[in-house]
Amino acid sequence: MQFSLAEAPDEATAEKGRKLFAGQSEFLKGVVAMSGLPEADRVEVCFAGRSNVGKSSLINALTGTKGLARASNTPGRTQEINYFTQGPDLYLVDLPGYGYANAPLAVVEKWQKLLKRYLSGRQTLRRAFVLIDSRHGIKKVDDEIMALLDSAAVTFQCVMTKADKVKAKDLDKVMEQVRSALSKHPAAYPEIVMTSSEKGEGIATLRSIISGID
Ligand SMILES: Nc1nc2c(ncn2[C@@H]2O[C@H](COP(=O)(O)OP(=O)(O)OP(=O)(O)O)[C@@H](O)[C@H]2O)c(=O)[nH]1
Ligand SMILES: [Mg+2]
């Protein structure tokens, strides 16, 4: 599989993305057990990634709503599966971050269990966006989540975050590592999206990608 960076969308596709995200976004609920999931009545996409990688910030950037998903400097801030509606036909799902070393073991195990159940058992989950910090590349914990998505046959797309924090010369090396790690995962989508929630880079591209998922 060849992995390439997603290019900016053409005008028609960009318009589709803008239209989708011009709709109202609202926090629906935080879920701590599979029994709490909302009815599977529409398409959903989720955002997975290590603690602090920028999942909540990305949801805020996509929806253009600053405090919608709580972003914070404290790793492990998002401990529930948080559901957001985007217009009437789409759920955006903010997942608890994984790989947070300082969380108590019992808490980590509880999250992991829920995360695994959700990723492998949610019928309407169309794509998982796996967020990777542009400075750090793919770590072992990311690789484990990707393997889980492979086995659940959930297509996942790699989204690089915090692009504003990495120098161009360092990025090449990280991207090489990312491409090589992704090549081991059959469920990986061939396009990688480079983003900065801070600067807005890649947000329009990701909006149009999401608007093309049905
Ligand atoms: N410079 C920069 N900082 C960012 C970007 N995205 C997120 N951050 C910062 O990174 C920190 C973590 O962001 P969050 O969005 O809370 O990360 P998260 O993945 O939701 O974290 P958990 O909920 O703990 O798993 C915050 O201080 C954000 O302001 C970005 O694109 N650029
Ligand atoms: Mg979060």
| Protein residue with its CA nearest to atom 12 in ligand 1 | 52
List the structure tokens of 99: 């790989």
- Per-residue pLDDT, 70: 81
Evaluate whether ipTM surpasses 0.95. yes
| Exposure of 58 in the CB half-sphere (CA atoms within 13 A) | 34
Q: Are strands 25-31 and 191-194 parallel, antiparallel or unpaired?
A: unpaired
Q: Are strands 90-94 and 191-194 parallel, antiparallel or unpaired?
A: unpaired
pLDDT category at 77 given cuts 50, 70, 90 is low
| Protein residue with its CA nearest to atom 16 in ligand 1 | 71
Spacing, Cα 45 to ligand 2 middle (Å): 15
- Of 57, 81, 100, 135, best ligand 1 pocket probe by most atoms within 8 Å of the beta carbon: 57
- Ligand 1 atom closest to the Cα of residue 75 is 24
Give residues (CB < 6 A) around ligand 1: 49, 51-57, 71-73, 75-78, 97, 161-162, 164-165, 196-198
pLDDT category at 78 given cuts 50, 70, 90 is low
| Protein residue with its CA nearest to atom 27 in ligand 1 | 73
**Average pLDDT over all residues of the chain:** 92
Residue 65 maps to which CATH number? Answer: 3.40.50.300
pLDDT tens digits for 20-71?
Answer: 999 999 999 999 899 999 999 999 999 999 989 999 999 999 999 988 988 7
- The count of domains in the chain is 1
Spacing, Cα 2 to ligand 2 middle (Å): 30
| Protein residue with its CA nearest to atom 21 in ligand 1 | 52
Q: Which amino acid is at 151?
A: S
> How many whole angstroms separate alpha carbon 213 and alpha carbon 70?
25
pLDDT category at 80 given cuts 50, 70, 90 is confident
> How many whole angstroms separate alpha carbon 67 and alpha carbon 195?
19
For residue 170, give its domain range.
4-211
pLDDT tens digits for 82-111?
Answer: 999 999 999 999 998 888 767 778 877 888
pLDDT tens digits for 122-135?
Answer: 999 999 999 999 99
Bridge partners (DSSP) of residue 64 are none
Q: What are phi and psi of 121, to 5 degrees?
A: -120, 5
Average pLDDT over residues 188-194: 98
